[in-house]
Structures are given as structure tokens and as C-alpha cells.
């Protein structure tokens, strides 16, 4: 999980530094939100026994992805408004 989120951070930070350097901290915020969402998904999966055969598997993946996209959308709006 940490490696996955650090890779995401390592891609986001240089892109933000190129496009809008004053918002470098947004990459850190995104990292914290990303690791929180993925950890929560892992805990839900583990506690409810959600695996690929479980009926909630794809719903959980969908909620995870929706939260990631909403995070990107929200942080983009923040940067555009400031």
C-alpha cells in the first residue's frame, strides 16, 4: 500500500511542480487521501471477507475509484480557484 501510494505521489508531485509549483502541497494532500481510501478499502475487504467471488467486490472497487476521481476533481477545483 505504501509503495503504491508513494509511486502515485512521485508522479503527481513533478506534474504539479511543472503546472502549478505553488500548489506542491496538493501532492502531499492527495497522498494522504489516497492512502486513507486504499487502507479503508483493505479494511472493509478483510473484515467482510470481500474477495473476487464476493458480490460486493466490484461495488467496493467502484466506490474506491469514485473516491479517487472525486479527490482529483476536488483538488483540481481548489487549484483552479486559487
Cα dihedral sign for 72, 74, 77, 79? negative
Q: Are 31 and 5 in contact (CB under 8 A)?
A: yes
pLDDT digits (tens, 9 = 90+) for 19-30: 999 999 999 999
- What confidence tier does 10 reach under pLDDT thresholds 50, 70, 90? very high
Q: Could you give the CA distance from residue 31 to residue 68 in angstroms, rounded to a whole number?
A: 11
pTM over the 0.75 mark: yes
Percent of the chain with pLDDT over 90: 100
Amino acid at each position: 500500500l505504501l509503495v503504491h501510494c508513494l509511486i502515485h505521489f512521485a508522479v503527481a508531485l513533478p506534474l504539479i511542480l511543472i503546472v502549478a509549483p505553488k500548489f506542491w502541497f496538493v501532492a502531499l494532500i492527495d497522498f494522504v487521501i489516497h492512502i486513507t481510501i486504499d487502507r479503508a478499502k483493505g479494511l472493509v475487504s478483510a473484515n467482510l471477507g470481500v474477495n473476487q467471488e464476493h458480490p460486493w467486490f466490484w461495488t467496493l472497487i467502484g466506490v474506491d475509484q469514485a473516491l479517487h476521481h472525486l479527490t482529483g476533481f476536488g483538488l483540481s477545483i481548489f487549484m483552479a480557484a486559487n
